[in-house]
């Protein structure tokens, strides 16, 4: 299929996610050709030398050091926000005011009020909007969601998610925006937002949470002076879904030799499904209807064309990687552009932000917190 509609993208941010998005825009038509194609045309970043180097490496011809100039350009149709979370709402509001469609990395904001402002801005402007919860697009995770939706696991009783990394283990890491709550957000909003999104995507809204948080390295060097760390190194939470499902969550950036390890498990009345990111092409499944001689969970290779998010990918056995989640995300946005609806959108991002804020309040107050407290 040859694209007959080109959407020109301005990427705000030249770090890992900016480069990853640029790659996904280039690769998506090779995997899932569409009548709509995204073409990165400009990248912005505060450091001229760094953004020039990054844009050249990504095959993007132009760059600027002021994101406002990117938004003002008539040849930009979509603004892709890949900056620290504390900047998201301001950039989104400006892009919406300029009539641009907006794609934003998670979390939508570092607090619920800013997330609502971002959501309301794009809704009022009538522009398309999507948030980067890309792990939904991994075939194995999508297959798990499909099994929940079709009732193959029965009535769901339990959900659990963990996300462990060693990003903050080294005490010699200097203070930067990641340790500033208003700019980087908490570990709950950074790592936990992905887990919360997947949980609510599969099981619906969360009503109440009870969380605890810890910061193990309380001060870090900031240009020769000690500065207090403002975010958690690790957090855990109990969650209660509107449906009655019981859940648990643990997130940490202080787990040595755990680079980016997350798991999601669902237990229902008829079966269990378990996903582990280090084996991202696999879903472990067990059913109460299985032969008792084969008791336990069995490994399912999530690579068959009959399974979700596998269209266009390599033959069975070749597997997919992290990049597939981003490429599938872009391909899904292209496929739904003509319908004027993108998913997940900023309403989802705001709902996730509400749960994150409830967990943060719960950890601070040492009590159960209703999500209603945050949104009302």
The string of DSSP codes covering 92-129 is HHHHHHTT-EEEEESSS-SSHHHHHHHHHHHHHHT--E
Q: How far apart are CA 307 and CA 301, in angstroms?
A: 10
Distances (CA, A) of 75 to 6, 7, 62, 72: 11, 9, 12, 9
Q: CATH assignment of 5-132?
A: 3.40.50.720
Task: Give the domain ranges of the chain.
Answer: 5-132, 136-341+353-365
Cross-strand pairs, 149: none
* Tens of pLDDT, residue by residue, the chain (376 residues): 667 899 999 999 999 999 999 999 999 999 999 999 999 999 999 999 999 999 999 999 999 999 999 999 999 999 999 999 999 999 999 999 999 999 999 999 999 999 999 999 999 999 999 999 999 999 999 999 999 999 999 999 999 999 999 999 999 999 999 999 999 999 999 999 999 999 999 999 999 999 999 999 999 999 999 999 999 999 999 999 999 999 999 999 999 999 999 999 999 999 999 999 999 999 999 999 999 999 999 999 999 999 999 999 999 999 999 999 999 999 999 999 988 789 999 999 999 999 999 999 999 999 999 999 999 9
pTM (2 d.p.): 0.96
- Residue 376 burial (CB < 10 Å; 0-12/13-18/19+)? exposed
Helix axes 16-31, 322-336, angle to 10 degrees: 70
Residue tagged 């949470």 (tokens): 209
d(CA 297, CA 286): 4
**Residue whose token pair is 């950074």:** 190
User: Do 136-341+353-365 and 5-132 fall under one CATH topology?
Assistant: no
Provide the CATH topology of domain 136-341+353-365: Dihydrodipicolinate Reductase; domain 2 (3.30.360)
């Amino acid at each position: 299929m040859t694209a007959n509609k080109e959407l020109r993208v301005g990427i705000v941010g030249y770090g890992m996610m900016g480069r990853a998005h640029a790659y996904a825009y280039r690769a998506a038509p090779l995997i899932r050709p569409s009548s709509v194609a995204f073409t990165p045309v400009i990248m912005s970043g505060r450091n001229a030398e760094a953004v020039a180097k990054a844009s050249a490496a990504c095959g993007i011809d132009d760059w600027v050091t002021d994101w406002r100039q990117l938004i003002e350009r008539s040849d930009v149709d979509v603004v892709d926000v890949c900056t620290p979370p504390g900047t998201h709402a301001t950039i989104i509001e400006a892009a919406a005011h300029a009539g641009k469609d907006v794609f934003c990395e998670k979390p939508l904001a570092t607090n619920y009020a800013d997330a609502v402002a971002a959501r309301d801005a794009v809704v009022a402007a009538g522009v398309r909007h999507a948030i980067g919860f890309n792990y939904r697009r991994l075939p194995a995770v999508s297959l798990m969601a499909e099994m929940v939706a079709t009732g193959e696991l029965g009535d769901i009783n339990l959900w659990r998610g963990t996300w462990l990394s060693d990003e903050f283990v080294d005490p010699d890491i200097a203070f930067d925006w990641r340790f500033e709550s208003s700019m980087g957000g908490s570990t709950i909003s950074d790592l936990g937002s992905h887990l919360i999104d997947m949980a609510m995507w599969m099981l619906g809204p969360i009503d109440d949470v009870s969380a605890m948080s810890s910061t193990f390295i309380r001060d870090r060097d900031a240009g020769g002076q000690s500065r207090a760390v403002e975010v958690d190194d690790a957090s855990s939470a109990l969650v209660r879904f509107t449906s009655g499902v019981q859940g648990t969550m643990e997130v940490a950036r202080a787990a040595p030799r755990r680079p980016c390890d997350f798991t999601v498990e669902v237990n229902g009345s008829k079966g269990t499904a378990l996903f582990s990111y280090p084996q991202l092409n696999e879903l472990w499944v067990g059913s109460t209807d299985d032969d008792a001689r084969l008791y336990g969970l069995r490994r399912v290779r999530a690579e068959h064309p009959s399974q979700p998010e596998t269209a266009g990918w390599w033959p069975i056995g070749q597997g997919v990687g992290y990049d597939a989640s981003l490429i599938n995300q872009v391909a899904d946005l292209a496929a739904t552009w003509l319908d004027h609806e993108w998913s997940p959108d900023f309403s989802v991002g705001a709902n996730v932000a509400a749960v994150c804020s409830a967990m943060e309040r719960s950890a601070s107050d040492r009590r159960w917190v209703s999500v209603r407290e945050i949104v009302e």
